[in-house]
Amino acid sequence: MPRFAANLSFLFTELDFLDRFAAAAEAGFKGVEFMFPYAYDAADVRARADANGLKVVLFNLPPGHWDKGERGFAALPGREDEFASSVDLALNYAEALGCQRLHAMAGLTTHGAQRDVYLANLTLAAQWAAGTADILIEPINTRDIPGYFLTTTREARNIITEAQEPNLGLQLDLYHRQVMEGDVAGAIAEFAPIVRHYQCASPPDRGEPDKGEIDYRQAFKLIDETGYRGWIGCEYKPRAGTREGLGWLKTMT
């Protein structure tokens, strides 16, 4: 069965961020991911992970002005120097945390996102990260993030293919795939060669992966059959509290 990583930006949010590591370990998780660690010293984050026997498996590059509506800026023209600085910062954190997967958010079409800028910035990020981390791109549905630039799995593959960087890969969130395109089983089979990380949640409410539009027991079985040995991030919104909703883990492992 797959290895599941608790997304600490979504789970155990009743606790301060650094206290969520202990909660994840107590719940039985061996890996964690999160959106942005940059408000905390990398040494403090690493200390919490190590103290609780947790592997940090994924986090995002800085997203730009999140509170002002930005959702990344890898595809935004005129921000190339800022993006390069964000790659440098993320790689410093990745090395400190022993993390080998970094997600670069594209940004919004309404903010002027352009494909050529995206491709150039991703190429730079992958080249800088070579030997340290994989740079990942994730198609995101436009219901959750209206106007997001990268929305389809096929376009993500096109960009990865064009970049021709061996450490540029796909972050396949099965929730986003189902909302935007459907056919989760087909996507697992078709895109397995470029997937470096999966995430899960149940449409339509983005709750625990136990009921809804996706048969997760079957999906996890299909992922196993592809030979994937990485992590699956639990990036869902608990319906009635994180601990109260963890029963799904016992049925899947």
Place of tokens 């997001």: 148
Residue 62 phi/psi, 5-degree rounding, is: -50, 140
Check residue 227 and give left, alpha or beta (phi > 0: left; psi -120 to 50: alpha): left
Q: Write out the DSSP string of the chain.
A: --EEEEETTTSSTTS-GGGHHHHHHHTT-SEEE-S--TTS-HHHHHHHHHHTT-EEEEEEPP-SSGGGT--B-TT-TT-HHHHHHHHHHHHHHHHHHT--EEE--B-BGGGT--HHHHHHHHHHHHHHHTTT-EEEE----TTTSTTBS---HHHHHHHHHHHT-TTEEEEEEHHHHHHHT--HHHHHHHHGGGEEEEEE-BTTTTB-TTSSSS-HHHHHHHHHHTT--SEEEE----SS-TGGGTHHHHHH-
Residues involved in catalysis: 138, 235
Partners of 136 in the beta sheet? 103, 169
Give the residue among 139, 56, 147, 143 at the shortest CA–CA distance from 95: 56
